[in-house]
């Protein structure tokens, strides 16, 4: 069995409102589960815009591994119209920091 962390973003959060923003769902799947199996288990619409695994753009056919972090994003204007997966990945790299921000408390 593989256990993965899943975060839903934008309009997809309505399907699992329990975790607060930024908190992950912990989902257990079979060893040979793919992203498409995860989407089925979550019962979110298949028209999701972007699937990220460990910060990298992936397709529904991607084979999940134990401990991976998945971000599922609803279609977002400019990213939905991006001409290629490389363009989408580049857009995410431009807006997301490469390292988590450290905010002292």
DSSP per-residue codes, 7-76: EE-GGGGGG--SSPTTPPEEEEE-TT-BHHHHHHHHT--TT-SEEEETTEE--TTPBP-TT-EEEEE---
Model confidence pLDDT, tens digit, residues 5-54? 999 887 888 888 776 766 789 999 999 999 999 999 998 887 777 899 99
Q: What are the extents of the domains in the chain? A: 2-95
Model confidence pLDDT, tens digit, residues 56-76? 989 999 999 999 999 988 876
For the domain bounded by 2-95, which CATH number is listed?
A: 3.10.20.30
């Amino acid at each position: 069995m593989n256990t993965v962390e899943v975060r839903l973003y934008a309009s997809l959060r309505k399907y699992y409102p329990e975790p607060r923003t930024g908190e992950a769902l912990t989902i257990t799947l079979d060893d040979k589960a793919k992203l498409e199996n995860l989407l089925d288990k979550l019962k979110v619409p298949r028209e999701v815009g972007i699937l990220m695994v460990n910060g990298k753009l992936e397709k529904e056919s991607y084979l999940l591994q134990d401990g991976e972090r998945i971000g599922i994003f609803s279609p977002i204007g400019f990213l939905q119209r991006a001409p290629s997966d490389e363009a989408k990945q580049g857009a995410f790299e431009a807006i997301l920091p490469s390292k988590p921000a450290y905010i002292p408390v």
